[in-house]
């Protein structure tokens, strides 16, 4: 996956004015929503020192990585946003908004920037890993990851199987009322282990 979108010349100029010569741009990504959440474009660039957010309508916003504890994704109605969380409950600040179409790219950006903040090695997923679920078409949280919509469905299915386990023998056997017990009486419990134990109790 590439997190080095080419910015329009105007945005590159703004970025050039902000970013020092000793700074290198690590990641650059375009969003499909403006900073006032309309369809359009805004851009996020991450250097080794800061995050810069650009939008043609507004002056660039910069955020020092040193002051950021982590960035996280906020799922909103119809869109998502990246949020920067400051140290020591320093509050949260909106970075950039985007629609479902950009979900996989921004999920990766969020992860690698957090790894950068924690000074960990980052690895970008392969370019050809799928960005959308092959089964239901939903955008994946990260390229090549499990589908958040399909996986819970499978989990629920296996959980139901688990819950059905104690009843399985009963489900497979005929109804208890149809089987005479050891005394030849109908309508009593099947002689499974518990009942046998109970019966031997004084």
* Residues near Zn ion, by CB under 5 A: 133, 135-136, 138, 147, 149-150
What is the nearest approach in angstroms of Zn ion to the Cβ of residue 126?
A: 19
152 three-class SS? helix
Shortest separation between residue 148's beta carbon and Zn ion, angstroms: 8
Q: Which residue has the tokens 């078409």?
A: 137
Q: Where are the beta strands (DSSP E) in 48-152?
A: 50-55, 58-64, 68-75, 80-86, 92-98
Kindly tell me which of 83 and 138 has the beta carbon lying closer to Zn ion.
138
Note whether 48 and 19 are within 8 A (CB).
no
Distance of CA 38 to the CA centre of its chain: 23
Query: Which is nearer to Zn ion, 40 or 141 (by Cβ)?
Result: 141
Q: Report which of 129, 171, 127, 133 is spatially closest to residue 154, judged by C-alpha positions.
A: 133
Calpha distance 77→94 (Å, rounded) = 15
Closest to Zn ion by CB, 11 vs 142, is 142
Nearer to Zn ion, 117 or 150 (CB): 150
DSSP per position, 3-48? -BPPPPHHHHHHHHHHS-TT--EEEEEEEEE-TTSSEEEEEEEEES
* Least distance to Zn ion, CB of residue 161, Å: 20
| Residue whose CB is less far from Zn ion, 38 or 135 | 135
Minimum CB distance to Zn ion, residue 98 (Å)? 20
Minimum distance, C-beta of residue 156 to Zn ion, in the bound complex (Å): 14
């Amino acid at each position: 996956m590439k997190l080095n979108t080419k910015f329009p010349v105007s945005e590159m100029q703004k970025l050039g004015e902000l970013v020092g010569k000793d700074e290198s741009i690590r990641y650059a990504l375009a969003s499909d929503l403006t900073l006032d959440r309309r369809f359009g474009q805004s851009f996020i660039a991450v250097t080794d020192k800061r995050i810069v957010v650009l939008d043609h309508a507004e002056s660039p916003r910069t955020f020092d990585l040193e002051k950021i504890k982590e960035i996280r994704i906020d799922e909103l109605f119809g869109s998502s946003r990246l949020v920067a969380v400051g140290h020591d409950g320093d509050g949260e600040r909106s970075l950039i908004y985007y629609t479902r179409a950009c979900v996989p790219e921004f999920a990766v950006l969020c992860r690698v920037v957090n790894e950068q903040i924690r000074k960990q090695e980052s690895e970008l997923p392969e370019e050809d890993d799928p960005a959308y679920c092959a089964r239901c078409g939903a955008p994946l949280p990260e390229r090549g990851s499990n589908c958040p919509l399909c996986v819970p469905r499978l989990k629920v299915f296996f959980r139901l199987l688990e819950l059905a386990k104690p009843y399985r023998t009963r489900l497979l056997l005929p109804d208890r009322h149809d089987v005479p017990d050891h005394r030849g009486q109908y309508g009593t419990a099947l002689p499974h282990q518990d009942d046998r134990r109970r019966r031997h109790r004084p």
